[in-house]
Structure 1
Amino acid sequence: MVRAAAGVYENETFRGRSMQMNDDSMLTFYSLLNGYTVHQPSSLAFTLVPERWPHYLRQQMRWMRGTMVRHLWWLRYMPQGGIVFWTTVAEYLHIVLGVVIPVVLVTDGDYHPLLGTIAVDGALTALVMNYLMALRLFTVRRSDMTARQQALLFALAPVAGLWRAVVLRPLYFYAMLTCHRVKSWGTRAAVEVTLVNVG
């Protein structure tokens, strides 16, 4: 499958522009077209995150725009009775509802004595969900992190959730609207992270 798709990635275009992004999801896409893929939760990768805001912003935009293009491909080429198609639909439904529901609750002119309770319940639910997602931190034994550091990272799970909601979600909306502005790897002309060798 990899050999059959060789050359496609380097020459991929989207709306007439060269696009070399999301090579991992592209391989998954071709695998799905030729058979099936499986989720391997024990397979982990650690991402080097840029240390400067402009570099981080470019990295996130590159990833998000590439993801948007891949989603469009999945909606177009995946079987409509398959899980990939409906998972993509569900993700966009989740995004829409995540905007519509709060807007309706806040802008509705009628008095709601339970609105405060709904807001509190929503915040508590988000808090619990962030901690549930962060439990995965304890499934991997890392030589570069002490148990204390791991516990601190877990304790900061709500901060990560807030970052996703306040920074990354609006950025994703912008990436969705501007996914046609793809560039060839964007920030890959130079390495924008410092590799720290932890022994």
Structure 2
Amino acid sequence: MTVEERLPSARRVGPVARVLGTIGVMLFASAVVVTVASRGLDTPARAVFVVIAVAAWLHLLFAVLPDRAHRRRVVTDPTHAALDVAVLVPVYNEDPGALRRCLRSFLEQTRRPQTVVVVDDGSTAADYDVVRAWFLREAGAVGVRGVWHRTVNQGKRHAQVEGVRFTPGADVYVTVDSDSILDHRAIANGLQPFADPRVQSVAALILTTNYRQSLLARWMDVYCLGLQLFERSAFSRFRAVMVNSGGCSFYRAAVIRDNLDTYLGKTILGRPVQFSDDSMLTLFALRRGRAVQREDCFAFTLMPATLDHHVRQQVRWMRGSFIRSIWRMRYLPLGRAAYWLHLVKWTLYVLASATLLQLLLDGALFRWETLVSGALAAVLLYVTAVLRYVFVIRSDQGHLQRWLTFATAPLAAVWGLTVLRVMRWYAIATFARTEWGTRGEIEVRDGSAA
């Protein structure tokens, strides 16, 4: 196999480097942020900023703490090594090359699943006959049960539920998007936390495969992975991950099977919600027990490389996030850490938004000193929050490319603080628009298909 044909893989740097590097940058950032913020912001705004900064640093400290979920060893435990694992892959208008690499990654796992179910949800923009024949042949050759089923178009959830119906004996379901490529250790590592019977779901880390395709894709790689290693890692220490990623997530079978009717039929204001599937499954898991993230379980996925596709994806995610936030307040048990973490998160968001709006209405935001000092402090705080991006070593990204990509973090910060914030306000105001909004055709193509 040539280098070009190898599927990407990833690993983390050592724990000592991660902890010392993060704490060192935090100490430096603390001094700079407090100094800069104290010169340009008025007293109320400064107080809110300090609260947000303290919350961010606490997030980061919890994120780098050793996680007991990483000490679980179930693959070598005969009880858990026998887990029946089924991978659910819904497909709709996916690039055939990306789909083939996705499927191939399951067959090259160090711990292969027993079954992989591909459900073509009525695709109209691609012909998968060649990929289908290849997959069924290769799956059989390595002892994996391959299932390929086509349905009329009913959406991602229906496609996943079709996969569940083909695998009634599964113990663990792995939900994977059809453009994701799993690191060859992903399933083995993702199963580890299930040694704790209270763990109901495990989130993988999602990396961007096409980060070189555009500057937007590059800085969104920092934005997405950085936040996974920031907020989600911190919440994982409390066993309260709020949102697993569609790129790769693990669920005890009962989490999905016991909620099929709700999963398919949930509505908002009488309208069916066609997105936010992953956060809904995570909510089901949190109601049953614990939801964690495994930081050595990696999946690579294609991200939007054009502004139009990016905007539609983000608005869909943000609408789903707001809808799911309402449901978390309603359905999460008061006695669980997840409820209170969620409440604190939204309280900080409202405080920040209200302060920003007040500065805008007062005209203070347009004063040069306030604008520059506030922006510098916010960008530095953000860059510190996503620092852990550089601690992930990837086979498809050399050291230079890793640091060049991380260098776009200030752009990601400005984008997040301005454009994405306005988009979130718009998404909240229009949350009842529940259509999917993307994938009418193949929107991102994989130019590296084997």
Superposition TM-score, scaled by structure 2 size: 0.39
Corresponding residue of 1:100: 354
**Cα distance per residue 1:99-133 (max 9 Å; x no partner):** 32244446559xx9xx8766554333223222213
Q: Which amino acid aligns with 2:440?
A: A
> Counterparts of 1:116-195 in structure 2 under 5 Å?
119-183=371-435, 185-195=436-446
Q: Secondary structure at the match of 1:21?
A: coil
Per the TM alignment, residue 160 of structure 1 is displaced from its structure 2 partner at its CA by 0.5
Corresponding residue of 1:21: 275
Q: Which amino acid aligns with 2:387?
A: L
Distance 1:82 1:55 in 2: 37
- Out of 305, 326, 330, the position equivalent to 1:51 is 305
- Which of structures 1 and 2 has the larger relative contact order (alpha carbons within 8 angstroms, sep 6+)? 1
Per the TM alignment, residue 159 of structure 1 is displaced from its structure 2 partner at its CA by 0.6
Q: Secondary structure at the match of 2:294?
A: coil
Q: Secondary structure at the match of 2:292?
A: coil
Corresponding residue of 1:74: 328
Per the TM alignment, residue 21 of structure 1 is displaced from its structure 2 partner at its CA by 1.3
Q: Secondary structure at the match of 1:171?
A: helix
Distance 1:119 1:54 in 2: 29
Per the TM alignment, residue 148 of structure 1 is displaced from its structure 2 partner at its CA by 1.0
Corresponding residue of 1:39: 293
Structure of higher CA gyration radius: 2
CA RMSD of aligned residues (A): 2.5
- Out of 314, 322, 328, the position equivalent to 1:60 is 314
Per the TM alignment, residue 75 of structure 1 is displaced from its structure 2 partner at its CA by 0.8
> Contact 2:319/2:430 (CA < 8 Å) preserved in 1?
yes
Q: Secondary structure at the match of 2:393?
A: coil
**Cα distance per residue 1:143-194 (max 9 Å; x no partner):** 11121111111222111100111111100111111111111x3213333212
Q: Which amino acid aligns with 1:55?
A: H
Distance 2:420 2:314 in 1: 8
Q: Which amino acid aligns with 1:22?
A: S
**Cα distance per residue 1:51-103 (max 9 Å; x no partner):** 33322221111111111111000011112343222222222222222232244
Distance 1:56 1:108 in 2: 32
Q: Which amino acid aligns with 2:264?
A: E
The structure with the greater share of residues assigned to helix is 1
> Contact 1:51/1:192 (CA < 8 Å) preserved in 2?
no
Superposition TM-score, scaled by structure 1 size: 0.83
Report the CA distance shift for 1:66/1:102 in structure 2 as closer, same or farther (over 3 A): closer
Distance 1:129 1:45 in 2: 27
Per the TM alignment, residue 7 of structure 1 is displaced from its structure 2 partner at its CA by 4.4
Distance 1:126 1:198 in 2: 39
> Contact 2:379/2:414 (CA < 8 Å) preserved in 1?
no
> Contact 1:9/1:20 (CA < 8 Å) preserved in 2?
no
Distance 2:361 2:422 in 1: 20
The structure with the greater share of residues assigned to strand is 2
Distance 2:383 2:360 in 1: 26
> Contact 2:383/2:409 (CA < 8 Å) preserved in 1?
yes
Q: Which amino acid aligns with 1:144?
A: D
Q: Which amino acid aligns with 2:378?
A: A
Distance 1:10 1:103 in 2: 38
Q: Secondary structure at the match of 1:194?
A: coil
Q: Percent identity?
A: 38
Structure 2 unaligned blocks of 5 or more: 1-254
Q: Secondary structure at the match of 1:8?
A: helix
